[in-house]
């Protein structure tokens, strides 16, 4: 079972392939920040399975054996590394509480207790990393495979006190992590990615609950950990054939079927249809995502035009965050945007690139633009007269009439207001005409952003199924 990455591939070409990898100390530090542990307690590894293999290597070298559940990949590793003595390592899957893990660790000491937390991001459980400081024989294994969409990259982490980590490192082969994989992991764990990664995980959990509820109407269902549901079908072979006919790949585990849960509701609807459960017809989701990585900024932006929330914005420019919140609130759509930019130089790149990313995400969400109202109009607001008109034509044409006397509002440069809407118009493919006048530059700026949101709300509303153009296309 796999999940797609929450953003387009960030590494291309062969950079780093011409040299031996260096020690991944920067990756260890970034993992430590994500997992909330000291950096000297993190050992980057080549996926969680690699961490398990290090455990088996260590046990064999020290003349012991590994006690683990009867399942893959534990069975395969046990076959490769035959037991030589009494258990010196005990492997368990994540338990319900760190306190329970600590009790098990105390019970099996001096043997190492290794906790497989490969899918913990998809559960409500608290990580056992919170009790590592109290248990010198505790090792926690984490993975970037599913939560971060990097199953093919094979990157993970072993987390333990320094002594236990040193024992694992002693059986680590040279150059274990190639440079391109380290770079991928660094980018995946960048703070600018975490908002969207968290929402992506939440979306999987929401879909898992929905599908479980629907399937439970006709069969016994067990919620798996991660993007998986386990079911007991009266005729597993027939169920697998029906799933395949609907384009859903599943497999059998004993007397149960392992069903994948997708991020996309329409794919999960196909799974339900394979069991004769046809949900109510739904319009295709109007979601969009944009990633922008430059020398100056790292941005992830995601929108959902059919959801009012969440709205989470972090650019480092407080007033600009507030203005983007106004667009989302008055536009009536969900907006998540995180930017890491060169604010020590100037807010220009952060503001400009955030506008470009938002425009691209909106363009993707609009898709073929079928059924939309297409046009939006807003007239004066309060003392600050702001007039905004929008045509979601697919053809960018920005116009901005208005000036500002105050150079800055907080850290926000008022002269960038026109630039923001030019970038938005060009990136989303829209004609955006704005006129603003008034006495207070704060009011004028806020009126423009609010008015744009209101105009956009009108333009993106669904009025039918046809493309709003006599040409038949936008």
Q: What is the pLDDT of residue 200?
A: 85
Confidence (pTM)? 0.77
Percent of the chain residues topping a pLDDT of 70: 94
User: 353 exposed, middle or buried (CB, 10 Å; 0-12, 13-18, 19+)?
Assistant: buried
Whether 448 shows a pLDDT value over 70: the answer reads yes
- The CA radius of gyration of the chain, in Å to the nearest whole number, is 26
Whether 472 shows a pLDDT value over 90: the answer reads no
Whether 268 shows a pLDDT value over 50: the answer reads yes
For 287-460, CATH number?
Answer: 3.30.230.40
Beta bridge partners of 64: none
129-152: pLDDT as tens digits: 999 999 999 999 999 998 998 999
- Six token digits for residue 405: 């006397």
Rounded Cα distance between 230 and 249, Å, is 14
- Nearest alpha-carbon partner for 292 in 321, 311, 315, 267: 315
Per-residue pLDDT averaged across 287-295, rounded? 89
Q: Give the confidence band of 7 by pLDDT, cuts at 50, 70, 90.
A: low
Contacts of range 128-131, beta carbons closer than 8 Å, 24 or more positions apart? 128/94, 128/95, 128/98, 128/101, 128/102, 129/35, 129/36, 129/37, 129/159, 130/36, 130/98, 131/98, 131/99, 131/101, 131/102, 131/105
For 25-189, CATH number?
Answer: 3.40.640.10
314-371: pLDDT as tens digits: 999 999 999 999 999 999 999 999 999 999 888 999 999 999 999 999 999 999 898 8
Whether 80 shows a pLDDT value over 90: the answer reads yes
Every domain of the chain and the residues it spans: 25-189, 194-274, 287-460
Per-residue pLDDT averaged across 16-29, rounded? 84
Rounded Cα distance between 117 and 48, Å, is 9
Please, are residues 233 and 257 in contact by the beta-carbon 8 Å criterion? Answer: yes
Query: What would be the CATH architecture of the domain defined by 194-274?
Result: Alpha-Beta Complex (3.90)
Least confident of 26-35, 43-52, 131-140, 251-260: 251-260
Rounded Cα distance between 221 and 132, Å, is 34
């Amino acid at each position: 079972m796999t999940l797609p990455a929450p953003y387009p591939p960030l590494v291309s070409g062969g950079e780093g392939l011409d040299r031996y990898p260096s020690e991944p100390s920067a990756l260890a530090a970034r993992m430590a920040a994500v997992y909330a542990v000291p950096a000297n307690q993190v050992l980057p590894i080549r996926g969680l399975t690699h961490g398990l293999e290090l455990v088996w290597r260590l046990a064999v070298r020290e003349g012991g054996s590994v006690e683990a559940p009867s399942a893959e990949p534990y069975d395969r590793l046990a076959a490769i590394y035959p037991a030589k003595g009494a258990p010196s390592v005990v492997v368990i899957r994540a338990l319900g509480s760190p306190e329970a893990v600590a009790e098990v660790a105390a019970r099996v000491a001096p043997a190492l207790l290794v906790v497989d937390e490969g899918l913990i991001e998809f559960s409500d459980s608290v990580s056992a990393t919170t009790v590592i400081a109290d248990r010198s024989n505790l090792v926690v294994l984490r993975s970037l495979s599913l939560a971060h969409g990097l199953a093919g990259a094979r990157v993970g982490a072993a987390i333990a006190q320094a002594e236990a980590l040193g024992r694992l490192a002693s059986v680590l082969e040279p150059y274990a992590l190639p440079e391109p994989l380290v770079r991928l992991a660094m980018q995946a764990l960048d703070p600018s990615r975490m908002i969207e990664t968290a929402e992506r995980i939440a979306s999987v959990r929401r879909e898992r609950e929905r599908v479980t509820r629907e399937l439970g109407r006709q069969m016994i269902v067990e919620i798996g950990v991660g993007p998986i549901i386990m079911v007991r079908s009266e005729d597993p072979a027939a169920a697998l054939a029906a799933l395949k006919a609907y384009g859903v790949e599943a497999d059998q585990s004993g007397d149960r079927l392992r069903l994948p849960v997708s991020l996309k509701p329409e794919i999960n609807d196909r799974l339900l249809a394979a069991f004769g459960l046809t949900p109510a017809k739904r319009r295709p989701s109007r979601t969009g995502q944009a990633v922008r990585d430059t020398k100056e900024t790292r941005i992830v932006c995601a929108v959902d035009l059919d959801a009012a929330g969440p709205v989470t914005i972090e650019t480092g420019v407080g007033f600009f965050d507030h203005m983007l919140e106004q667009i989302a609130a008055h536009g009536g759509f969900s907006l998540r945007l995180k930017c890491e930019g060169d604010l020590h130089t100037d807010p220009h790149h952060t503001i400009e690139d955030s506008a470009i990313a938002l425009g691209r995400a909106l363009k993707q969400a609009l898709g073929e633009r079928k059924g939309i109202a297409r046009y939006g109009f807003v007239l004066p607001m309060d003392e600050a007269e702001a007039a905004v008109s929008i045509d979601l034509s697919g053809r960018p044409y920005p116009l901005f009439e208005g000036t500002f006397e105050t150079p800055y509002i907080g850290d926000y440069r008022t002269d960038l207001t026109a630039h923001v809407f030019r970038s938005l118009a060009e990136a989303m493919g829209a004609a955006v005409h704005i006129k603003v006048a008034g006495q207070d530059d704060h009011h004028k700026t806020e009126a423009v952003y609010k008015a744009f949101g209101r105009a956009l709300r009108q333009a993106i509303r669904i009025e039918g199924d046809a493309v709003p153009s006599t040409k038949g296309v936008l």
